[in-house]
Structure 1
Amino acid sequence: MYDEEDLDEIREARESWEAETRDPVIDRFGERKERFATVSNHEVEDIYTPADVADIDYDEDLGFPGEFPYTRGPYATMYRGRTWTMRQFAGFGTAQETNERFHYLIEHGQTGLSTAFDMPSLMGKDSDDPLSDGEVGKEGVAVDTLRDMEVLFDGIDIADVTTSFTINPSAPVIFAMYVALADQRGVPREEIDGTLQNDMLKEFIAQKEWVIPPEPSLKLVTDTVEFAAEETPKFSPISISGYHIREAGSTAVQELAFTLADGFAYVEDAVERGLEVDEFAPQLSFFFNSHNSIFEEVAKFRAGRRIYARVMEEWYGASRPESKRMKFHTQTAGQSLTAQQPLNNVVRVTIQALAGVLGGTQSLHTNSYDEALALPGEEAVRVALRTQQIIAEESGAADVIDPLGGSFFVESLTDEVEAETMAYIEEIREMGDGSVRDGVLEGIQQGYFHREIQDASYEYQERVEQGEEVVVGVNKYAMDEDTRPDLLHVSEEVQERQLSRLDSVKAERDDEAVEEALDAVREAVEAEENVMPALVDAVKAYATMGEIMQVFEAQYGQYRETVGLV
């Protein structure tokens, strides 16, 4: 963007400024830190100039919003057309309690629903399983059968709302329940809209919720991708999730690199299945964390769009613009929330949410200030939602597309994040002898991802303990008095109510029809066919989550992690 003569003049002027203006001030007053860096430990200079972005080609590297390589945004008008979807995470107790929270959020202006499930549901266990005792409804809503799904969306028009389901090992069963609910209500399958997290590779890398081994888990994910391409074209069958990789302690670059690698692995598996990339790629979506270093997060989002567009086109032959747009949901950083002085979390969440908006997110969840202590209460949820609404309506951040585009600092950092991310992706691809999918599976087996994240997490914690990384209210500006707010408490009666509903379903259903439906699932698994049609039939017969998941376990076995982290 500048010719070499201009750049030389700028470099000379900077050297003069350093010697004549900056250095005397530093000599007299010093600087408040010896080293300045982002949360992910990217060292930052004191000032950036055109010389730091001398290699950028505007057309090839930036372009315009809605045009390749989508660095400046996936859509032409972005928030000037409509704001991002405000999607607050909700789920606790029984389906009835969560349904009431859904209605509360909709009444207060939420534009999309996001469902949290309890641990038994996440792990494919029924509420009456002995392993579920004490966990039913505690960290999310309990869903055992289609009956729970019916109650969960009572009074909510699923043809008129987008719904996200944060669930992984048992995600195909939940997807089947939602499709069955649409069929039951007469809503055309092609009209239902939402997102299924369903990212099993991320589970083996970071979050550690699994049932069956990686390869068959990947097969089930591809089943949902194929089914969605044919039956539910508006629904994203997978949300490729960096959020949990970052929550496990990764850097921003690791989060982006490992998430994109997972995404490319799913693409390769679907293509090997025989699907055309342009047939399913438009339905893929991503899910990222937004942490405290606002400019690093913006750079991460912009670099991610550029990498995705180029790789999808060059490696996988995507031709449709929709196949090359990286669309993503953002959630503010749960790991940054502190139990000490929890109201400080309102400020953290605001900064992180603003980073997501400045980075061009398509939907956003803002954490509640009390989430380091318990499931969020109603007041905390309302403040979290109002935070998004204030950013959208009052800050002006939604009025300009890519407002930080052209910043010497942000463009330089975007290039840096892109280069480091691609280095990781190429390393993973090399582990798979040219296949990203095989490289990811090999990396899981070898413990590669675990070690990379573990090392980054350890280094960050060292910086916190040494005071190099400040956490306000924890290692600086701490207080002795208790500042805890009133917290939401999930009663033990929840489990009793859920067990009563499950007993009623089992008593009322046609047991013979259930057995026939489960046999059909078993036959589909054994024949290596797409299991989704059989799952939809099984949940319509009111087969339970646990009964269906036991079919998968019987065929594929349970997964036990064996890698060492040394």
Structure 2
Amino acid sequence: MFNDEKLGILSEERKNWEEKTLGKSLARGPERKEEFTTGSGDSINRLYTPEDIADMDFMNEIGYPGQYPYTRGYQPTMYRGRLWTMRMYAGFSTAEESNKRYKYLVDQGSTGLSVAFDLPTQIGYDSDHELSQGEVGKVGVAIDSLADMEILFDGISLDKVSTSMTINAPASVLLAMYIAVAEKQGVSADKLRGTIQNDILKEYIARGTYIFPTEQSMRLITNIFEYCSQNVPKWNTISISGYHIREAGSTAAQEVGFTLADGIAYVEAAIKAGLDVDSFAPRLSFFFNAHNDLLEEVAKYRAARRLWAKIMKDRFGATNPKSMMLKFHTQTGGSTLTAQQPENNIVRVAIQTLAAVLGGTQSLHTNSKDEALALPTEDSVRVALRTQQIVAHESGVTNTVDPLAGSYYVEAKTNEIEEKAMEYITKIDEIGGAPRAIDAGYIQQEITDAAYKYQMEVESGEVIVVGMNQFKIEEEAPKGLLKVDPIVGEMQKQKLVDLRAKRDNEAVQEKLAALKTACEGTDNVMPLILDAVKEYATLGEICGVMREVFGEYEQSVML
């Protein structure tokens, strides 16, 4: 972007600055520390100049928003056209309680819903299963059947809202329930907008709510791709999630590299299943974390967009521009929140919100100040939502597209993260792809090593966490935290007793038998799951059939 003559002049001027201005400053006193690093531990130069991005090709590497390689965003006007979706993640206790929280959030200005499910739901067990004991409704809402889903969205018009559901192994079942609720509201499937997370590979890597073995899980995912491309065309069929990879302790570059490697695996599986890349790729979406190092995070999002565009165009031959666009949801970093001085978390979340917006996110959830201690209260959720609204309407950063483009540091860091992420992808390709790299424990080990290094730096005080390892105060025990009443589990059990007494159990068994036959064959199982859901077969019954046919995944042990 700069000619050699002017770069030569800049080089000489830099030397003069270092000798005369910088040298005098350092002689008077040293810098605060010998080495400065990003939140991921990468070295940061004292100063960045045009020399650091001299080899960049503006049109092919930075370019214009809405054009390949989409470094600056996939919409030409970005937030000047419409703001990101303010999608607050919520769900706890019963469907009735969560429905009240959703209506509260909509009243407070939330523009999208995001459903948190409890752990039994996430691993395909009904609330009355012995393994569900003590976990019902705790970290999300308990959904056992279509009856619960009907209550969850009671009074919420599904043709008017966009809904995200954080569900993976049983994603096909929860999507079928959502479609069935919409039909009961008179809303056809082709009108539905939203996302299911549906990313099982990151469950094997970082989160743990898996059910089925790799091959069968990939079959379910591609079945969803195919079904939705024909019946639910506005639905994002997967949210390929770096969020949990970062929560497990990865660096920013690892978050991008491992997430896009998972994305490659899903695209390859869909193509192998006979789908044309441009028939499903436009509905792929991603999910990233937002940490405290604002500029590194902005560079991370820009690098991910550019790298995915190149992968889709060059590796998979996508021709539809929408297939090359990396659209992503962001959640502020749960692992960055502290139980100590929780009010400090409001500031952290504000910085993370700014990073996500400056990086061009399409939707955003902001964590609440008390989430290191408990589920958030209504008051803390409101503050978290207001954080987004203040950034949107008062900060001024939404008034121009990609305002940090051209920053010598941000552009150099974008290049660095893209290069490091691509090195991870290349290594994973050499192993045989993401599923094999997961089975071999490679990705998990890389994350573990990064997490250990960071934790040692925190414990030594090299990395400062305000209020936790420095600037500590004496604090009283927190008050007013939200707690889920243990009676919720008993209430859900009684709901199941009543459901099984009222439904047509013979019809349920017929639908489950048909689903079993489909699982044993090669047909798309989504229509059979939808049929079973409409007869009020429970989540546990449907997943039980699939467990019987597919088996369960056994995690590799790292030594």
Fold similarity call, TM over 0.5:
yes
Q: Which residue pairs with 1:300 in the alignment?
A: 300
Cα displacement (A) at 1:482: 2.3
User: What corresponds to 2:406 in structure 1?
Assistant: 406
| CA deviations over 1:185-239 (Å, ceiling 9, x no partner) | 2211111000000100110111111111111111111111111111101101110
Q: Hey, what's the Cα distance between the residues in 2 that align with 1:261 and 1:440?
A: 6
* 8 A contact 2:72–2:405 mirrored in 1: yes
Is this contact kept in 2: 1:339–1:370, CA < 8 A? yes
Give 1:445 shift.
1.2
Tell which deviates more after alignment, 212-221 or 346-355.
212-221
The whole-number CA distance in structure 1 between the counterparts of 2:260 and 2:326 is 10
Partner of 1:560: 554
**Paired position in structure 1 for 2:91:** 91
Does structure 1 conserve the Cα–Cα contact (< 8 Å) formed by 2:458 and 2:465?
yes
CA distance in 2, matches of 1:474, 1:23: 36
* Paired position in structure 1 for 2:522: 528
Counterparts in 2 of 1:25-44, with a 5 A limit?
25-44=25-44
C-alpha separation in 1, matches of 2:294 and 2:476: 30
Do the aligned partners of 1:164 and 1:196 also contact (CA within 8 Å) in 2? Answer: yes
Q: 1:342–1:483: 8 Å Cα contact kept in structure 2?
A: no
- Give TM-score, length-normalised by structure 2: 0.99
Task: After TM superposition, give the deviation of residue 496 of structure 1 in Å.
Answer: 2.1
Look up the equivalent residue of 2:413 and give its one-letter code.
L
**Residue in structure 2 matched with residue 396 of structure 1 by the alignment:** 396
One-letter identity of the residue aligned with 1:408: Y
Mapped to 2, the partners of 1:415 and 1:266 lie a distance apart of 25
Tell me how far apart the structure 2 counterparts of residues 7 and 27 of structure 1 sit (CA, whole Å).
28
Match of 1:451 in 2: 445
TM-fit CA distance, 1:484: 2.5
Question: Unmatched 5+ residue regions in structure 2?
Answer: none
| Counterpart position of 2:126 | 126
1:456 alignment partner AA: A
Determine what percentage of the aligned residue pairs are the same residue.
54
Partner in structure 2 of residue 323 of structure 1 = 323
Structure 1 alignment gaps of length 5 or more: 433-438
Tell me what 1:74 maps to: 74
Give the C-alpha shift of residue 64 in structure 1.
Answer: 0.5
Shift of residue 184, structure 1, vs aligned partner: 2.0
Q: Name the structure 2 match of 1:436.
A: none
> SS of the counterpart of 2:89?
strand
In the alignment, is the contact (CA less than 8 A) between 1:341 and 1:484 conserved in 2? no
The code of the aligned residue for 1:384 comes to A
Shift of 1:483: 6.0
One-letter code aligned to 2:494: S
For 2:285 and 2:381, the matched residues in 1 are separated by 25
Secondary structure of residue in 1 paired with 2:82: coil
Of the candidates 476, 482, 488, which is equivalent to residue 482 of structure 1? Answer: 476
Cα distance in 1 between the residues matched to 2:487 and 2:427: 51
Kept after mapping to 1: 8 A contact 2:440/2:556: no
AA paired with 1:328?
F
What is the distance in 2 between the residues matched to 1:503 and 1:23?
78
Deviation at 1:9, TM superposition (A): 1.1
Cα displacement (A) at 1:409: 0.5
Within a 5 Å distance, the mapping from 1:2-21 to structure 2 comes to 2-21=2-21
Number of residue pairs the alignment of both structures matches: 559
Residue in structure 2 matched with residue 135 of structure 1 by the alignment: 135
Alignment of 1:4-403 (within 5 A): 4-403=4-403
Distance 1:485 1:364, change over 3 A: farther
| CA deviation after TM superposition for structure 1 residue 546, in Å | 0.4
CA contact (8 A) 1:70 1:305 kept: yes
The TM-score with structure 1 as length reference comes to 0.98
Tell whether 2:421 aligns with 1:427: no
Q: Deviations over 1:29-58 (max 9, x none)?
A: 211122111110111111110000001111
**Whole-angstrom CA distance in 1 between matches of 2:499 and 2:186:** 22
Q: Which moved more, 1:210-219 or 1:107-116?
A: 210-219
Name the residue aligned to 1:491: 485
Secondary structure at the aligned position of 1:110 is classed as coil
Q: Is the 8 A contact 1:340 1:483 kept in 2?
A: no
Distance in 2 (alpha carbons) for counterparts of 1:456 and 1:501 = 45
Give the whole-Å Cα distance in 2 for the aligned partners of 1:75 and 1:402. 11
SS in 1 for 2:240: strand
- One-letter code aligned to 2:436: E
Distance 1:82 1:483 in 2: 42
Output the amino acid matched with 1:468.
E
CA distance in 2: counterparts of 1:282 and 1:260, whole angstroms: 15
The question of whether the paired residues in 2 share the 8 Å contact of 1:445 and 1:563 is answered with: no
Q: Is 1:440 the equivalent of 2:434?
A: yes
Moved more, 368-377 or 474-483: 474-483
Q: Deviations over 1:229-257 (max 9, x none)?
A: 11101101110000000000000100110
Which sits farther off after the overlay, 78-87 or 214-223? 214-223
Post-superposition offset of 1:480: 2.0
- How many angstroms does 1:485 deviate by? 4.4
- The answer as to 2:532 corresponding to 1:538 is yes
Q: What are the Cα deviations for residues 352-380 of structure 1, in whole angstroms up to 9, with x where unaligned?
A: 01000000000000000000000010000
Map of 1:494-505 to 2, 5 A cutoff? 494-505=488-499
1:2-23 CA-to-partner distances (Å, cap 9, x unmatched) read: 1011111111111111111112
